Amino acid sequence: MAGVYVAGVGFTKIAEHWDRDLEHLMVEAANKAMEDAGVSSVNAIYVGCALSEPLQDQMNLGALMAECAGLVGAPALRMEAAEASGAAALYAGFCDVASGRSEAVLVVGGEKLSDGLSDEVSSGMMMMSGRSWYEGFMGADFYALNALLYRLYSKRYGEEGIPFFPVISHEHAEGVPHAQYPFKISLDRVLESPFIADPLRMLEVSGIGDGAAAVILVNEDLARRLSSPKARIYISSATDYVNPFDREDPLRLQSVLLAVNKVLEQAGVSRSEINMIELHDATSILAALCLESGGFSPPGEAGKLAMKGEFGLNGRLPCNTFGGLKARGHPFGATALYQVAEIYLQLAERAGKNQLDNPRVGLTLSLSGVGAAAFASLLKKE
């Protein structure tokens, strides 16, 4: 397989952008990424977005993006994999370049959740986490499924340290210009926040925001000619039964394990060589399950390791170095591309006050629903 490189990234601040349309947020991110990479055209556009139908009454985002970005003529496809839609677009863009078909592609993801009321967003999330006629019919939404997993987890291992994951993400987001919630919160504040679905607390789940992020992927030839910093990228994905309770062990996300194993094999990298991870901390319990299922923490230990500081900026394995889904923000179709952009910034030594010491390899994990699909991408400094 031919090499694929990230040559530039761009993103908007995550916020409630009342005055801007979804496609305009995506154009801002796309323009920034193209300028960052130093390219003026691309062979194809891949768009990630999850909920433009229910929230913007809009489909055909590929052609719409091509027009708004001034790239009419380029083939443009929209990819959907629920909350991991940005990762799905990245996967498609990667395959396009790796196959030799395209020299450069624009991968852009966006989501504008503030166009909906919070119960409409919950309703959209329910479409993403289960079947409409089963979990959806029963009102077992994303938070309810997470809460049930959390209970099973606490029964088996105890909940120690799980509520600490939001504390880590917020600590890393402090002062980050693009983060939606750029401030610290204490563990007590998390523990005192009301239940959204017991035992899951309000401050253990990501918020609702708008944002867009973009990545330029190029082949080896073009990578050599461009002057921007490059990172070699690999991506893998796997699926699991949609309902976590149909799986042999609901507390082991097999999709995460498979995706991680495949991407490590592709890149020829071992777990111990990974310097940082962007986790899918849509909820605190999912952050822990990602680490444990991916083989980065023994089962039942992730919360305890979090409390010991292992996932902090100075820890053994820094996670969510710009705040993760919880504090940077989680605009679904854009989220995975923020993750990739943030790993890229770390590798390019452009991470500002959050810069890690000479990182070489970073991993991102992006989930749809409660791990129905998992995408793992790995970036390596060139």
Binding site for other proteins (CB under 8 A): 117-120, 122-123, 125-126, 132-141, 143-144, 147-148, 151-152, 155, 194-200, 241, 243, 245-246
**Least distance CB 193 / other proteins (angstroms):** 12
CB 164, CB 306: distance < 8 Å? yes
**Least distance CB 162 / other proteins (angstroms):** 15
Specify whether the backbone of 344 is left (phi greater than 0), alpha (psi in -120 to 50) or beta: alpha
Closer residue to other proteins (CB): 121 or 217: 121
3-state secondary structure 174-192: CCCCCCCCCCCCCHHHHHH
Q: Is 69 helix (H, G, I), strand (E, B) or coil?
A: coil
Sign, CA torsion 169/170/174/178: positive
Closer residue to other proteins (CB): 137 or 183: 137
Q: In the chain, at which residue ranges do the beta strands (DSSP E only) sit? A: 4-11, 44-48, 76-79, 104-112, 195-197, 200-201, 210-219, 231-239, 276-278, 361-368, 373-381
Closer residue to other proteins (CB): 90 or 282: 282
**Least distance CB 209 / other proteins (angstroms):** 16
Token pair 């496809």 in the structure block, residue: 77
Closer residue to other proteins (CB): 144 or 222: 144
Q: Is 312 helix (H, G, I), strand (E, B) or coil?
A: coil
Residue 367 identity: L
Residue 113 identity: L
Instruction: List 172's β-bridge partners, or say none.
Output: none
**Least distance CB 112 / other proteins (angstroms):** 18
Closer residue to other proteins (CB): 192 or 198: 198
How far is the C-alpha of 89 from the C-alpha of 112, rounded, in Å? 17
**Least distance CB 135 / other proteins (angstroms):** 6
Closer residue to other proteins (CB): 132 or 270: 132
Token pair 């078909």 in the structure block, residue: 101
Sign, CA torsion 240/206/363/161: negative
10 Å Cβ neighbour count for 152?
Answer: 15
Token readout for 285 is 């319990």
How far is the C-alpha of 232 from the C-alpha of 353, rounded, in Å? 24
**Least distance CB 114 / other proteins (angstroms):** 16
**Least distance CB 258 / other proteins (angstroms):** 16
Closer residue to other proteins (CB): 99 or 118: 118
Residue 82 identity: A
**Least distance CB 247 / other proteins (angstroms):** 10
What radius of gyration do the chain's Cα atoms show?
A: 19
Closer residue to other proteins (CB): 200 or 367: 200
**Least distance CB 199 / other proteins (angstroms):** 8
